[in-house]
């Protein structure tokens, strides 16, 4: 299973169960993320602790998801980015756009 979910109170956690998140998995993830947003989730955390690499296509989906949820008065946060996943956030300067946290608990707590 490439992606799983966990609900913590009013926060939905999307867990990326991939070492490498690439164009091959992007459509599946995009469908999951936008379904959750359409269902009314306003607080979403993307857990990247297992994912040490993401390509620009996958990152683009995260950015579109962030833009979409903000329009609906919600927010999307990132937890556990490391390795090349963290590097692409920094290289593309999207680390300035996303609220990013070292671990899942901190990301969830940031909504309060």
User: Does the structure show a pLDDT above 90 at 1?
Assistant: no
Question: How far apart, in whole angstroms, are the C-alpha atoms of residue 102 and residue 81?
Answer: 7
Nearest to 66 by CA among 86, 88, 91, 95: 95
What are the domain boundaries of the chain? 3-109
> Looking at residue 22, what is its pLDDT?
96
pLDDT band at 45 (very low <50, low <70, confident <90, very high): very high
Q: What's 3-109's CATH class? A: alpha beta
CB 69 within 8 A of CB 36: no
User: Does the structure show a pLDDT above 90 at 52?
Assistant: yes
């Amino acid at each position: 299973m490439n992606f799983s979910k966990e609900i913590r109170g009013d926060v939905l956690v999307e867990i990326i169960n991939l070492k490498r998140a690439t164009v091959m998995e992007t459509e599946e993830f995009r469908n999951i993320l936008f379904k959750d947003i359409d269902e009314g989730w306003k607080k979403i955390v993307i857990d990247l602790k297992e994912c040490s690499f993401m390509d620009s296509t996958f990152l683009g989906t995260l950015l579109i998801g962030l833009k979409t949820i903000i329009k609906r008065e919600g927010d999307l946060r990132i937890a556990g980015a490391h390795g090349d996943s963290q590097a692409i956030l920094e290289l593309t300067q999207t680390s300035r756009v996303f609220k990013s946290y070292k671990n899942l608990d901190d990301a969830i707590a940031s909504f309060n």
